[in-house]
């Protein structure tokens, strides 16, 4: 078969074709494709991904550095300069523009590569049949003709048709808006059937709620229904609060600066300064004043933070969510594996009277051994306590677990007897039992029996045991069994599981509280078990709300009660999501930690969705972060990293608004009274380029504990106040520099431009050491890389006026006394910035 021609490239109405015919047309078999065929199809059809999620190529990322309208205008103006044969300026300006773009590109490219490598560690996988063998492969490698194996928790990787299905229910709300999962089964449906009625099809982007199935993939990637929809809508994730704040700040500064730049250009032309020089000066000024480095700084910070979080066992799936991680002030989590050891053990298998029973344990083992649904620690605990106690038993059928019934049944054949064995939540088991095995005989269940069962259940739950029930019934022979067969069962006894609290969990919770994060437990366990675990982990007088109590509350009432509640017990998936939304409504940044099928809606709804490496696919796909180890200690380190990223990003913002806002006034004023341009266009761009080097290293800077000890939110008003204080402070010393150069040193045009160039670069670089910390600068040590790049840029700044490049750049050597005066002004500025910073933060604390 040629890799270039596939007769099945464009299928229509495949849901109306018999599966055998479809297999032939797709040149596939029920045993799957061969490795060689898969490689051919991957080359032809491409990977099973959506175009909307494709990564930028290196060339595309480099060209992205020039997308700013200001840069494009500057390039056009530079071409005009070349057209009038001002070659020197044109070459220098182009060199600075490309040098700055290259610097930003290298950093962003490294950052994006690092992030991609980390994300690849937790990519979603799919089970397929290849060469007749079951294999687990990255979902992006699925091709048309593949046979995929689906089970509860699986994300459906592409569009296809069912070959086999057993109690198979799919959640396809993302495509159809249907609230409840829909049952799917093999067959043929009408060619005119709308998507919601194609009961024999599975679609990319949907997930398996319960049951198991085998499906034949027909279309992948952008040819799927989900892919075509995503392409039409150009889907993108919603903006985080931090992204929105950064965008608004950048837009505000850019708009204000552009208006001032236009005014400055008009003023220069009015005073008969050269039009071309005035134009280049104004545009170069816009480049120097706008926070154009902000996107690169954010990307570098996020990527470095992602590497730091990965070192602590937290893999970042969505970089834009890292800031939310640091801002999180409430964490909702289940108890199993997070607060407890996660190594569940079966402590007891009791009969009706609470006595150890080998028969109850044997029946439980059969149920756990033959079930093929969701892997869970309870079944693993049952299997661990016995070793193949029934070698002759054979599985006949299975009725999978679901979150409505909260039970699972298997039908087992032992010699001539066929038995349905059902295991699940005690209340749900009792609801289908009419008899009980008591003292070796079967008796009808009376109210006294139920009261006795409830009494034991309450007693064991209060001791921290999770109690399940087990029941059975001899069945007649028939081809298949359904949920309707779960009736008239005989109650056999109890299964008691225990999962002890983790060692040191009290201290971990205390540290999280010290970081300003309140822990809330959301569990399906009953109120008594939840209360016991809360007491054992140090929750004193914990307030508990059950799912039933929650159902009696209006949304508005829940908003207020959820804040004061520590434990939510006996909740279902919809109630989990309702809790998350209630907490968000009260202004909290909410994290949710989950790993099951029923956790996906809550992971989507939370500001910070956290899952674990061994979670089901649908949970990992919904999460923003994946923990390599289910441990709150790991989470704590991740929160610290998130807050460091936020702090380092703010450092650049503070530097940009203080220096840039001040320079606006300085340049505007200088343009009014100077008979020449305060700086040449190429000098402004060179200032921008030289200050870029230290700023690019902000991501490596140390962060003070004050930024880590509590959540921080994006506060535009705070930044605006900072700008209005530190911007004018910068202008004051600019005007001092003007006065010294013009009136005291009697500087010429070239000397003035050289002097202000040196003062602008050095003041912008060194003031960062003051504004980067709330502490006195000598008590907060910057990173060695930041110090090194700053000193290197400072040395270049001093050397340029004395180098062979000086004439081309418009510089002239300054007398030693002039340099000394400039250094005194910079020192005065630094001391003033340090004093003003302390006053500013004291005022901010008083305002709070």
Residue 284: partners with Cβ closer than 8 Å, 6 or more residues away: 74, 93, 681, 682, 684, 685
Chain centroid to CA 729:
39
Distances from the Cα of 819 to the Cα of 759, 764, 791, angstroms? 9, 17, 17
Positive or negative, the CA dihedral 419, 420, 425, 429 is: negative
Q: Are 19 and 161 in contact (CB under 8 A)?
A: yes
CA gap 518, 158 in Å, rounded = 40
Q: Are 620 and 122 in contact (CB under 8 A)?
A: yes
CA gap 607, 580 in Å, rounded = 9
> Backbone dihedral region of 337: left (phi > 0), alpha (psi from -120 to 50 degrees) or beta?
left
Q: Are 699 and 301 in contact (CB under 8 A)?
A: yes
The maximal CA–CA distance of the chain, rounded, in angstroms, is 113
314: three-class secondary structure by DSSP: strand
DSSP string for residues in 268-297: HHHTT--HHHHHHHHHHHHHHHS-TTHHHH
127 sits in which H/E element: strand 125-130
Q: Are 773 and 704 in contact (CB under 8 A)?
A: yes
Residue with tokens 């199935």: 213
Strand 433-438 vs strand 489-498: parallel, antiparallel, or unpaired? parallel
Q: Are 204 and 158 in contact (CB under 8 A)?
A: yes
The 10 Å Cβ neighbour count of residue 807 is: 11
- Tokens representing 734 are 């600019």
- Tokens representing 41 are 């199809």
Q: Are 499 and 343 in contact (CB under 8 A)?
A: yes
**Residue from 420, 425, 424 nearest 490 by CA:** 420
CA gap 323, 305 in Å, rounded = 10
Return the active site residues: 334
CA gap 8, 143 in Å, rounded = 12
- Tokens representing 486 are 């779960």
The 10 Å Cβ neighbour count of residue 327 is: 24
**Residue from 122, 154, 123, 153 nearest 141 by CA:** 123
CA gap 538, 133 in Å, rounded = 50
Give the helix ranges, DSSP H, for 84-122.
87-120
CA gap 722, 717 in Å, rounded = 9
CA gap 168, 209 in Å, rounded = 8
- Tokens representing 551 are 């159902």
């Amino acid at each position: 078969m040629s890799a270039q021609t596939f007769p099945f490239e464009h299928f229509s109405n495949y849901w109306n074709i018999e599966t055998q015919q479809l297999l032939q047309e797709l040149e596939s078999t029920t045993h799957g494709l061969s490795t060689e065929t898969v490689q051919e199809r991957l080359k032809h059809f491409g990977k099973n991904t959506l175009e909307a999620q494709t990564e930028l190529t290196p060339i595309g990322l480099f060209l992205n550095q020039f997308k700013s309208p200001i840069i494009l205008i500057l390039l056009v103006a530079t071409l005009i300069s070349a057209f009038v044969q001002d070659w020197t300026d044109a070459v220098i300006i182009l060199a600075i523009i490309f040098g700055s773009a290259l610097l930003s590109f290298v950093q962003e490219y490294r950052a994006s590569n690092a992030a991609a490598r980390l994300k690849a560690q937790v990519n979603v996988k799919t089970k397929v049949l290849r060469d007749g063998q079951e294999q687990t492969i990255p979902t992006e490698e699925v091709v048309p003709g593949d046979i995929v194996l689906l089970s509860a928790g699986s994300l459906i990787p592409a569009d296809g048709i069912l070959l086999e299905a057993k109690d198979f229910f799919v959640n396809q709300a993302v495509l159809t808006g249907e609230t409840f999962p829909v049952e799917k089964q093999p067959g043929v449906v009408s060619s005119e059937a709308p998507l919601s009625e194609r009961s024999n099809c599975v679609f990319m982007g949907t997930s398996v709620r319960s049951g198991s199935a085998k499906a034949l993939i027909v279309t992948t990637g952008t040819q799927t229904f989900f892919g075509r929809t995503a392409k039409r809508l150009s889907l993108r994730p919603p903006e985080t609060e931090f992204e929105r704040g950064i965008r608004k700040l950048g837009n505000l500064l850019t708009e204000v600066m552009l208006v001032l730049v236009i005014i400055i250009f008009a003023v220069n032309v009015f005073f008969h300064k050269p039009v071309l020089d005035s134009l280049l000066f104004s545009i170069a000024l816009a480049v120097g004043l706008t926070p154009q480095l902000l996107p690169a700084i954010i990307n570098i910070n996020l990527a470095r933070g992602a590497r730091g979080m990965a070192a602590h066992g937290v893999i970042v799936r969505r970089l834009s969510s890292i800031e939310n991680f640091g801002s999180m002030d409430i964490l909702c989590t289940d108890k199993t594996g997070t607060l407890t050891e996660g190594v569940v053990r079966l402590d007891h298998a009791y009969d009706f009277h609470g006595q150890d029973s080998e028969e109850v344990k044997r029946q439980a083992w059969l149920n756990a051994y033959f079930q093929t649904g969701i892997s869970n620690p309870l079944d693993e605990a049952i299997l661990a306590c016995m070793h193949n106690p029934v070698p002759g038993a054979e599985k006949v059928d299975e009725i999978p677990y679901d979150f409505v019934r909260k039970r699972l049944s298997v039908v087992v054949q032992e010699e001539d007897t066929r038995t349905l064995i059902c295991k699940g939540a005690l209340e749900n088991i009792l609801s289908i039992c009419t008899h009980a095995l008591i003292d070796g005989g079967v008796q009808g269940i009376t109210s006294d029996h139920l009261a006795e069962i409830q009494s034991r259940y309450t007693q064991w739950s209060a001791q921290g045991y999770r109690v399940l029930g087990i029941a059975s019934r001899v069945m007649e022979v028939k081809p298949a069994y359904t949920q309707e067969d779960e009736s008239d069962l005989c109650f056999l006894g109890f299964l008691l599981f225990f999962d002890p609290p983790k060692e040191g969990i009290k201290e971990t919770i205390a540290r999280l509280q010290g970081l300003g994060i309140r822990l809330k437990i959301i569990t399906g366990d009953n109120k008594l078990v939840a209360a016991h675990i809360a007491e054992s982990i140090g929750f004193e007088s914990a307030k508990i709300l059950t799912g039933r109590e929650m159902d009696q509350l209006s949304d508005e009432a829940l908003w207020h009660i959820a804040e004061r509640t520590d434990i939510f017990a006996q909740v279902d998936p919809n109630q989990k999501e309702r809790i998350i939304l209630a907490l968000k409504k009260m202004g909290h940044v909410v994290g949710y930690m989950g790993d099951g099928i029923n956790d996906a809606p809550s992971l989507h709804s939370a500001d910070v969705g956290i899952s674990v490496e061994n979670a089901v696919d649908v949970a990992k796909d919904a999460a923003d972060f994946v923990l390599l180890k289910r441990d709150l200690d790991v989470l704590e380190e991740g929160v610290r990293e998130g807050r460091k990223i936020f702090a380092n990003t703010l450092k650049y913002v503070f530097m940009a608004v203080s220096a840039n806002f001040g320079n606006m006034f300085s340049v505007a004023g200088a343009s009014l009274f100077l008979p020449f341009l305060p700086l040449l266009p190429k000098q402004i761009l060179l200032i921008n380029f030289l200050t870029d080097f230290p700023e690019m290293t902000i991501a490596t800077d140390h962060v003070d504990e004050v930024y880590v000890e509590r959540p921080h939110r994006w506060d535009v008003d705070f930044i605006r106040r900072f700008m209005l204080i530190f911007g004018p402070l910068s202008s004051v010393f600019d005007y001092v520099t003007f006065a010294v150069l013009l009136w005291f040193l009697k500087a010429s045009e070239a000397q003035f431009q050289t002097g202000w160039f040196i003062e602008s670069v050095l003041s912008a670089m060194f003031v960062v050491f003051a504004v980067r910390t709330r502490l006195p600068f000598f008590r907060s040590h910057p990173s060695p890389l930041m110090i090194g790049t700053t000193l290197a840029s400072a040395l270049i700044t001093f050397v340029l006026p004395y180098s062979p490049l000086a004439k081309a750049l418009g510089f002239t050597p300054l007398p030693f006394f002039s340099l000394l005066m400039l250094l005194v002004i910079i020192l005065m500025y630094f001391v003033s910035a340090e004093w003003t910073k302390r006053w500013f933060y004291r005022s901010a604390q008083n305002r709070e």
